[in-house]
Chains A and B, each alone.
Chain A
Amino acid sequence: MLSRVMDENLGGIRVVRAFAAQRHELEKFDRAKLSALELANQRVDIRVANTSAMNFSFLAAMGLVLWFGGQKVIAGQISVGTLAQFLTFMTILQMPVRQLGLMVNSFARASTCGTRLFELLDAELDIEDAPGARDLVVTDGVLRFDNVGFRYEGAGGRPTLSGISFEARSGETVGIVGPPGSGKSTIAHLIPRFYDVTSGSITIDGQDIREVALQSLRKAVGVVQQDAFLFTTSIENNIAYGNPWARETRIGQAAEYAQLHNYIIGLPAGYTTVVGERGASLSGGQRQRLTIARSLMLRPSVLVFDDSTAAIDAGTEQRIRAAMKRFARDRVTLIISHRLSSLMHADQILFVEGGRVVERGTHEQLLALGGRYRALYDLQLRPDDDRPLAGAA
Chain B
Amino acid sequence: MSTQADDDKEDTSGRPTKAVVGSHRDEEEVFGKAYDPRIIRRIWSFVRPYQSRIFLSVAAVLVFTLTQLAIPLVIRYAIDHGMTAGRLDRSVMIAATGAFTLVILINYAASYVQESVVGKVAENVLSDLRRAMFSHLQRVSLSFMDKTEVGRLMSRLQGDVNSMQEFLETSVMSVGDIVLLFGIVSVLLWLDFRLGLLTLSTMPVLFVVRLFWLPRAKVAFMAAHETNSIANGALAEGIHGVRTVQSLERQHVNFDLYDEKVLANLNTHLRSAKYAQVMVPIVDTLTGIAMATVIVVGGSMVLSHSLDIGVMVAFLFYIQRFFDPIRSLTMQYSVMQRAMASGQRISEVLDVPVDVSDRQGAVALTRYMDGSVEFRNVTFGYRPNQPVLKNISFRVNPGETVALVGPTGSGKSSSMALVHRFYDVWSGQVLVGGHDVRDLTQDSLGDQVAMVLQEPFLFSGSVLENIRYHKTGASREEVVRAAKAVGAHDFIENLPDGYDTELEQRGGNLSLGQRQLISFARALVADAKILVLDEATASIDSYTEMLIQKALVKLLEGRTGLVIAHRLATIRGADRIIVLQNGEIVESGNHEQLMAGKGLYARLYNMNYASFDDISGEEMAMDAALGKAT
Contact = CB atoms under 8 A, between A and B. Distances in A.
Interface of A: 2-4, 6-22, 24-26, 29-30, 33, 36-37, 40-41, 44-45, 47-49, 51-52, 55-56, 59-60, 62-63, 66-67, 70-71, 73-74, 80-81, 83-84, 87-88, 91-92, 94, 179-180, 192, 194, 215, 218-219, 221-223, 225, 229, 231-233, 236-237, 240-247, 249-251, 253, 274, 276, 278, 283-285, 294-295, 298, 310-311, 313-316, 338-339, 341, 376, 379-380, 382-383, 387, 389-390
A167 to B, nearest CB: 23
Given A10-B150, A26-B138, A71-B93, A379 B116 contact: no
A282 to B, nearest CB: 12
Contacts of B371: none
Contacts of B250: 241-242, 244
Contact of A180 (B88, B115, B469, B541): B541
Interface of B: 3, 7, 10-12, 14, 16-20, 22-23, 25, 71, 75, 78-79, 82-85, 88-90, 93, 96-97, 100-101, 104, 107-108, 111-112, 115-116, 119-120, 123-124, 127, 130-131, 134-135, 137-139, 142, 145, 149-150, 153-154, 157-158, 237, 240-241, 243-244, 246-250, 253, 309, 312-313, 316-317, 320, 408, 420, 422, 442-443, 445-447, 450-451, 453, 457, 459-460, 469-470, 472, 505-506, 511, 522, 526, 538-539, 541-543, 546, 568-569, 572, 607-610, 613-616, 619
Contacts of A92: 320
A156 B539 CA distance: 30
Contacts of B14: 245
Given A17-B420, A33-B131, A240-B18, A44 B116 contact: yes
Given A29-B134, A218-B249, A313 B613 contact: yes
Contact of A241 (B116, B150, B153, B248): B248
Given A66-B97, A180-B511, A338-B541, A22 B138 contact: yes
Contacts of B139: 22
A2 B248 CA distance: 39
B309 A52 contact: no
Contact of B119 (A26, A44, A180, A229): A44
A244 B616 contact: no
B451 A84 contact: no
A17 B457 CA distance: 12
B522 to A, nearest CB: 8
Given A7-B154, A194-B246, A244-B16, A37 B124 contact: yes
Given A56-B108, A219-B249, A229-B244, A10 B608 contact: no
A57 B253 CA distance: 57
A376 B86 CA distance: 112
A14 B453 contact: yes
Nearest to B237: A231
Given A74-B90, A250-B7, A315-B614, A52 B111 contact: yes
30 contacts: A6-B157, A14-B422, A18-B450, A20-B447, A24-B469, A24-B470, A24-B472, A25-B138, A26-B134, A26-B135, A30-B131, A37-B124, A44-B120, A48-B112, A48-B119, A63-B104, A70-B82, A80-B85, A84-B312, A194-B243, A219-B249, A241-B244, A244-B16, A244-B19, A245-B10, A315-B609, A338-B541, A383-B572, A390-B609, A390-B610
Given A71-B93, A231-B241, 17 more contacts: A14-B422, A24-B470, A41-B123, A48-B116, A52-B112, A62-B100, A63-B101, A88-B313, A92-B320, A194-B247, A219-B249, A231-B237, A233-B23, A313-B609, A313-B616, A315-B615, A338-B542
B610 A59 contact: no
A294 B248 contact: yes
A19 B443 CA distance: 9
Contacts of B457: 11-12, 14-15
A63 B138 contact: no
A18 B541 contact: no
Q: Which 9 A-B pairs have the closest CB atoms?
A: A20-B446, A242-B248, A244-B16, A244-B19, A18-B451, A44-B119, A232-B23, A313-B614, A12-B457
Contact of A382 (B11, B22, B154, B610): B610
B17 A19 contact: no
Contacts, number: 302
A21 B576 CA distance: 31
Contact of B131 (A29, A71, A88): A29
A285 B317 CA distance: 74
B107 A8 contact: no
Contacts of A341: 610
Contacts of B131: 29-30, 33
A80 B79 contact: yes
B608 A387 contact: yes
Nearest to B249: A218
B248 A390 contact: no
A19 B447 CA distance: 7
A87 B317 contact: yes
Nearest to A81: B309
Nearest to A225: B243
Contacts of B526: 19
Chain B interface helix/strand/loop/mixed: helix
Contact of B248 (A16, A87, A298): A298
Contacts of A40: 123, 127
A247 B10 contact: yes
Given A15-B457, A74-B83, A341-B610, A278 B23 contact: yes
Nearest to B137: A10
A84 B240 CA distance: 63
A83 B79 contact: yes
A194 to B, nearest CB: 7
Contacts of B149: 278
B104 A12 contact: no
Nearest to A221: B247
A16 B138 contact: yes
Contacts of A276: 23
A298 B247 CA distance: 10
A252 to B, nearest CB: 10
A51 B101 CA distance: 19
B506 to A, nearest CB: 8
Highest count of chain A CB atoms <10 Å: which of B17, B157, B572, B613 = B17
Contacts of B422: 14, 17
A304 to B, nearest CB: 9
Contact of A339 (B23, B241, B243, B539): B539
B313 to A, nearest CB: 5
Nearest to A299: B4
A19 B96 contact: no
A389 B112 CA distance: 77
Nearest to A127: B246
Nearest to B111: A52
A283 B408 contact: yes
Highest count of chain B CB atoms <10 Å: which of A48, A223, A339 = A48
B543 A379 contact: yes
B408 A55 contact: no
Contacts of A59: 71, 104, 107-108
Contacts of A94: 320
A316 B616 contact: yes
B83 A83 contact: yes
A251 B18 CA distance: 11
Given A40-B123, A59-B71, A74-B88, A245 B16 contact: yes
Contacts of A83: 79, 83
Contact of A192 (B111, B247, B616): B247
Contact of B542 (A37, A218, A229, A379): A379
Contacts of A71: 93
